[in-house]
Amino acid sequence: MKSDNMKAGMQQAPARSLLNALGFTPEEIKKPLVGIVSSYNEIVPGHMNIDKIVNAVKLGVAEAGGMPVVFPAIAVCDGIAMGHVGMKYSLVTRDLIADSTECMALAHQFDALVMVPNCDKNVPGLLMAAARINVPTVFVSGGPMLAGRIGGKKRSLSSMFEAVGAYASGTMTEDDVKEYEEKVCPTCGSCSGMYTANSMNCLTEALGMGLRGNGTIPAVYSERIKLAKRAGMAVMEMYRKNICPRDIMTKDAILNALTVDMALGCSTNSMLHLPAIAHEVGFDFDISFANPISEKTPNLCHLAPAGPTYMEDLNEAGGVYAVMKELADIGLINTECMTVTGKTIGENIKNAVNLNTEVIRTTQNPYSKTGGLAVLKGNLAPDGSVVKRSAVVEEMMVHEGPARVFDCEEDAISAIKGGKIVPGDVVVIRYEGPKGGPGMREMLNPTSAIAGMGLGSSVALITDGRFSGASRGASIGHVSPEAALGGPIALVEEGDIIKIDIPNMKLDLDVDDAVLEERRKKWQPREPKVKTGYLARYAQMVTSGNRGAILENNFKA
């Protein structure tokens, strides 16, 4: 046992005395030590139920012969952090979570781990940590929220943000907004559409790091508690078989996850997190991988905000396994990849059934023949940009219009809500990238304002920042290189014509190269927005969005 490094032999008697102080019995000290990473807190709705999940995991571990020990991971609620300085602290927690979990797990020499995340950065942060630590590890999330209901129709958090825009445009009253406020988020859990949290929890299943239902069983269902118990039992079986995360999170598994991403229509944030996870296992993930996979992968699901279905509907239709079975049947999934069940993907999904072909379309009748995401390149984004094309209306798939340029999110929101953005415009929000923000804020407020103002089918938004999974429309993010690095987005001027061609994966600025070169000579780096604390250190080390906003080690050996 790895934990024998800190608890076995005369030399480790002091450590055993401290375990004794914790109330461990001699019998418990002899058992494999299983760390349970709890993301529980009382500020994130997706995490308020995690204490119950953790208790169920502990029962499963103990029943299967392990000694469960809980330690914490932080979590930020993106919805609560949205639209103010708090959003600068969202993406950056991914690396804090990975780093702190690595520290705890290795300092205390755990034999195995069960990760209990739920919301946006906890899932990728803990997957990154699992790859680094590389002891038997199973994931079990807190589960998705049930959809709200207003006027007999299902609604979610994206509806709430759009209601604010509708109020600004005069199409909703204050009482209407109040009703949304009280009803769109009716239970605990990660927000009910295919937003980033649910995207990553579903992709954890596709990677093979979570049991069936990890991404889709609603937070309030008793089945979620049963799943947690099974996760605790599963990690002990992995321990006995010595199956570790790097046996599971291979290059093929990551490409499987990207394929499932395309079919589900996941959040664009997956194109930050999959490269970061791949980096931890030594796989250089270029976001351009997305396009050839997208070109051959049909989009089978239109979950909110892209369509009228929600996570509870996906769960009832057969969940992630049913989607993977549809893809495997046409040869798009590597079925030989190992999983936390001790079985291959192929063995896991062989009996999966699609129970609702409207929620999960068949591969013969997809929403589109191509996947949910696309990477656009051109002279405005030489290193790439990302769009959730499954959430773009047909009339905006090809668009050109004048740039309306803003150097921060707040100025753009003021212009949108002030009626200064008109049909045909291309809103450009820059200096909001990983380094320039710093922290690469999500732009759900401006995208929701555009939709709420009735401009969703006539206005595009381009940024070196990123988007919430709740964003919809012609929202193109992760523009790289970012403005803070002198990328072409820093050279755009008010009124320049921007050309968007999503089917051909192009994003171009219609300005002569010579003119751009003159602008480049005049460009000067901006003063850092934050000069102290964690954000300042983060800004010095972080890469652009096309590399997953990973932290680069600048220290020379």
- Residue ranges of the annotated binding site for Mg(2+) are 78, 120-121, 442
**Tokens 């009703």, residue located:** 179
CA distances from 536 to 85, 433, 494, 527, 549 (A): 14, 14, 30, 12, 15
In the annotation, is 471 catalytic? no
Classify 429 as helix, strand or coil. strand
Which residue type occupies 345?
A: I
Interatomic CA distance for residues 164 and 228, integer angstroms: 37
Interatomic CA distance for residues 42 and 372, integer angstroms: 34
Classify 6 as helix, strand or coil. helix
Task: Choose among 462, 449, 440: nearest CA to 507.
Answer: 462
Which phi and psi angles does 217 have, rounded to 5°? -65, 120
Which residue type occupies 12?
A: Q
Kindly name the residue from 3, 141, 156, 468 that is annotated as catalytic.
Answer: 468
Conformational region of residue 100, where left means phi above 0, alpha means psi within -120 to 50, and beta covers everything else:
alpha
Which residue type occupies 369?
A: K
- Please check whether residue 269 is in contact with residue 196, taking contact to mean a CB–CB distance below 8 angstroms: yes
Alpha helices by DSSP H, listed for 192-269, are: 196-207, 222-241, 245-248, 251-264
Q: Would you say how long the chain is, in residues?
A: 557
Alpha helices by DSSP H, listed for 68-143, are: 78-81, 93-107, 122-133
Angle at 314 between CA 313 and CA 320, to 5 degrees: 165
What value does the CA radius of gyration of the chain take, rounded to a whole number of Å?
23
C-alpha neighbours within 13 Å on the C-beta side of residue 154: 16
Task: Choose among 252, 201, 210, 198: nearest CA to 339.
Answer: 210
Catalytic residues: 468
